[in-house]
Amino acid sequence: MTLPDAPTPSAILEAAIYVNDLDAAEHFYGTLLGLEKIMRIEDRHVFYRLGGSVLLVFNPDRTVEPPNNPDLPVPPHGARGPGHVCFTLDRDGIALMHDRLVEAGVAIDTQFDWPNGARSLYVRDPAGNSVEFAEARLWSQS
């Protein structure tokens, strides 16, 4: 079979993580990390804007239910268990975020410099998702 040509995606528009307590997630991502909340729908989801991308935070028990909105026929979806998300910060921002998280009582999983010199800081959100803060050059090819 010959497949038709199609463009290669150029960016991630949205990424999803799953949590069992949206209130705790909203406190962590909205209050503690300061992400811009787009919307919250009851105990189903809360969405945050990060530049041109969106972090979707779903309750897995609710996102497997059909949306019951014929105008938005998003199929049921979801995952269970801890996931991973990485936010971009510069080195100074990572140090400031480290101090803020420690002051808020968030345990630090680890922090280190990658072989290319990029800094990463890892913590867990209240649902156990791995949350990383890294310099953008982590994935640079030079």
**pLDDT tens sequence across 72-130:** 888 888 888 999 999 999 999 999 999 999 999 999 999 999 999 999 999 999 999 99
Q: What pTM was computed for the model?
A: 0.91
How is the chain split into domains, by residue range?
14-65+81-139
**Third-level CATH fold of 14-65+81-139:** 2,3-Dihydroxybiphenyl 1,2-Dioxygenase; domain 1 (3.10.180)
User: How far apart are alpha carbons 14 and 129 in whole angstroms?
Assistant: 16
Local structure of 16: helix, strand or coil: strand
Confidence of residue 54 (pLDDT cuts 50, 70, 90): very high
Secondary structure E strands in the chain: 14-18, 36-41, 45-50, 53-58, 84-88, 108-113, 119-124, 130-134
Cβ density class 27-46: b for 16+ within 10 Å, e for less: ebbbebbebeeeebeeeebb
Q: Closest Cα to residue 30, out of 42, 20, 22, 19?
A: 22
Higher pLDDT, 65 or 84: 84
Cα–Cα distance measured from residue 57 to residue 104, given in angstroms and rounded to the nearest whole number: 21
